[in-house]
Amino acid sequence: MKTLFLTLSIMIFLTASLFSQLKYEGKLDAKYKSIKLDDGNLKFVKYNKKEQEVLIFNSDYSLWRTIDLPLPKQHLLDEIKYISQRTFNNDDSVELVYSCLVYSLYDDYEDPENESVKIEFTLNIINESGEIILKVPDSNDMEIIDFNGTKKLLIYKHPSKHFEENGETLIYTLPAD
């Protein structure tokens, strides 16, 4: 009876292990961001502030690409938004969309005693050799959508200190596959 119980327990355990849906693989440091490329491949991205470079890793954590990202003076990296190949150009060069920001002081004209900090964003698209594809001041948000079979890049601008004022959306048609 004990042998039967032990055999059944082992079979139930093995069956549950084989059909489990969730399997822990490990953890990733918070300094990494996961990004799905336009071809469906998963990559992990990390910004090396000291060397001013973006490191892109494969899903097995091996280094795939290193892209220099020298930011303008006084600018900080806000976020890496999108990484692709063939979204903005038809070559095999890696393309990187990122936003950066700079803090500056401004005077409140209604209250001259009030000096405030203004955050200025810029959305940038570069290729892996550092060539600028597009630079949009007053933006740190974008989206790629499929519109009637054509891919569109939407860039959301917010040129004032209040996001809801004077905003606009810039629309670009992306190259066909």
For residues 2, 8, 11 and 15, what is the CA-based torsion angle, rounded to 10 degrees? -140
Q: Write the pLDDT tens digit of every residue in 74-85.
A: 899 999 999 998
pLDDT value at position 113? Answer: 66
N- to C-terminal Cα distance for the chain? 65
Q: How far apart are CA 74 and CA 102, in angstroms?
A: 6
pLDDT digits (tens, 9 = 90+) for 91-137: 889 999 999 999 887 766 666 666 677 889 999 999 999 999 999 99
Phi, psi of 30, deg, nearest 5: -65, -15
Is residue 57 helix, strand or coil? strand
Q: What does DSSP assign to residue 70?
A: P
pLDDT tens for each residue of 11-42: 666 565 666 677 787 777 778 889 988 888 89
pTM here? Answer: 0.77
Query: 137 and 129 in contact (C-beta within 8 Å)?
Result: no
